[in-house]
Structure 1
Amino acid sequence: MYETRVQSYKNRYSLRFNFGVLKLVGLWSCLSFVLSGCGAGWGTKSVVDDEAFIDVITQQTRAIEEGHEQLVILSEMHRQLSEELAETKKQVDLLYKKLAAAKSIELASKKQNVVVKESPPTKKQTKEPLDGKLVLGRIEWVWLDLMGQTLKAKVDTGAKSSSLSAENIQEFERDGQRWVRFNMPEDPDKKVYEAPLIKYQNVRQASVEEMDQRPKVMLVVRIGDLSEETEFTLADRSNMNYPVLLGRRFLRDIAVVDVARKFVQDKFETQNQKAVDKLTSRSDSP
Structure 2
Amino acid sequence: MVLRFTGTALALCVVLAGCQSLPEQAPEAVACPEVPVVECPVCPLQECPEPRVLEKIVLRPAAPMAVPVRPETAGELELPIIGVLEFIRVEPSGLTLEAVVDTASEHTTIAARDVRLLEKDGKRFVSYVLVDPASDEQHALEAPLLRRASVVDAHGGSARNYVVTMWLTLGDNRTRVEVSLSENTDMPYPLVIGRNLLTDVAIVDVSRRHTLEHPAAP
TM-score interval, smaller chain: 0.5 to 0.7
Match for residue 189 of structure 1? 137
What stretches of structure 1 of length at least 5 have no aligned partner? 1-122, 272-286
Q: Distance in 1 between matches of 2:113 and 2:187?
A: 14
1:230 aligns with 2:202: no
Separation in 2, partners of 1:254, 1:208: 28
Which residue in 1 is equivalent to 2:61? none
For the Cα contact (< 8 Å) 1:164–1:237, is it kept in 2?
A: no
Correspondent of 2:147 among 193, 199, 209: 199
Q: Is the 8 A contact 2:115 2:183 kept in 1?
A: no
Q: Report what 2:51 is aligned to.
A: none
1:172 alignment counterpart: 118
Aligned-partner SS, 1:192: strand
- Which of the numbers 188, 191, 195 marks the counterpart of 1:244? 191
| Structure 2, unaligned runs of 5 or more | 1-67
Which one has the bigger strand percentage? 2
Decide whether aligned partners of structure 1 residues 232 and 144 sit closer, same or farther in structure 2, where only a CA change above 3 A counts. same
The residue aligned with 2:72 is: 127
* Cα distance, 1:269–1:207 mapped onto 2, change above 3 Å: closer
1:253 aligns to what SS in structure 2? coil
Higher normalized contact order (CA 8 Å, seq sep 6+, divided by chain length):
2
Structure 2 partner of 1:140: 86
**Superposed displacement of residue 223, structure 1:** 1.2
Instruction: Describe the shift of the 1:268–1:168 C-alpha distance in structure 2 as closer, same or farther (beyond 3 A).
Output: same
The question of whether the paired residues in 1 share the 8 Å contact of 2:93 and 2:139 is answered with no
2-structure distance, mates of 1:178, 1:212 = 20
TM score, norm. by length of structure 2: 0.61
Question: Do the aligned residues in 1 keep the contact of 2:106 with 2:195 (CA within 8 Å)?
Answer: yes
Cα distance change, pair 151–178 in 1 and its aligned pair in 2 (3 A): same
What's the offset of the Cα at 1:169?
Answer: 0.4
Deviation at 1:167, TM superposition (A): 1.5
Residue 131 of structure 1 aligns to a residue whose secondary structure is coil
Shift of residue 195 of structure 1? Answer: 1.2
User: 1:140 & 1:198 partners in 2: Cα distance?
Assistant: 26
CA–CA distance in structure 2, aligned partners of residues 184 and 128 of structure 1:
32
Distance of aligned partners of 1:192 and 1:204 in 2 relative to their CA distance in 1, 3 Å threshold = same
**Number of paired residues?**
148
**Residues 77-108 of structure 1, C-alpha deviation per residue, up to 9 Å, x if partnerless?**
xxxxxxxxxxxxxxxxxxxxxxxxxxxxxxxx
Distance 2:213 2:75 in 1: 16
Structure 1 residue 205 displacement after superposition: 4.5
* Counterpart amino acid of residue 207 in structure 2: A
Determine the structure 1 residue equivalent to 2:217: 270
Q: Which amino acid aligns with 1:183?
A: V
Larger proportion of helix: 1
